[in-house]
Amino acid sequence: MIDVRLFATLPMRSTSGRKEFALEPRPGLTVGEIVDAEGLRRTDVHIVMINGKHGSLDSELDDGDRLGLFPPVGGG
């Protein structure tokens, strides 16, 4: 399974409102497709983390991956 987590404003903007869910893997599945499926605009997502490393909307996901999606955030 793929572990998907949406942070900050993203769950509120998505159609399902889910913060965290598991997704059945399939060959060639990209981050962008998950963003689309959640009803988010691709431009809403600024940071993509796959297993703690930066990815992109085009990155493909494998079984067991942990995906984190963030809007633009800052702090310090």
Partner 1 sequence: MRRILRVDVAAGTTAFEDLPAEWTLRGGRSLTSTIVSNEVDAAVDPLGPDNKIVFAPGLLSGTTAPNSGRLSVGTKSPLTGGIKEANSGGQAAMRLARLGVAAIIVEGDPGDKKWVLHLSKDGARLDDGAPYWGTGNYECAAALRAAYGEKVATIQVGPAGEMGYKNSSVAVTDPEGNPARHAGRGGTGAVMGARGLKAIVADDAGTERPEAVDKERFAVARKTLVDGLKSHPVTSQGLTNYGTAILVNIINEAGGLPTHNFTSGRFDGAEAISGETVHQNCEDRGGKREHACMTGCVIHCSNVYNDKDGNYVSSGVEYETIWALGANCDNADIESIAQMDRLCDDLGLDTIEMGDTFGVAMEGGVLPWGDAARMIELFEDIRQGTELGRKLANGCVHAGAEFGVTRVPAVKGQGIPAYDPRAVKGIGVTYATSTMGADHTSGYAVATNILKVGGDVDPLASEGQCPLSNGLQQATVLFDSAGLCVFLAFAALDQPDSLAAIPELISAQYGVPFGLDQIGPYGETLLSIERDFNRRAGFTEKDDRLPAFFSTERLPPHDVIWDIPDSELDQVCGWSPVLEM
User: What are 10's two structure tokens?
Assistant: 């993203």
To the nearest whole angstrom, how small is the minimum distance from the Cβ of residue 42 to partner 1? 14
> What CA dihedral angle connects 60, 23, 9 and 14, to 10 degrees?
100
Task: Report the nearest approach of partner 1 to the CB of residue 40 (Å).
Answer: 14
Structure tokens at 22: 């598991």
Q: Using the 8-state DSSP alphabet, how is residue 10 labeled?
A: H
**Binders of partner 1 in range 39-58 (CB under 8 A):** 46-47, 49, 51-54
Give residues in contact with partner 1 (CB under 8 A). 5, 7-9, 46-47, 49, 51-54, 68, 70-76
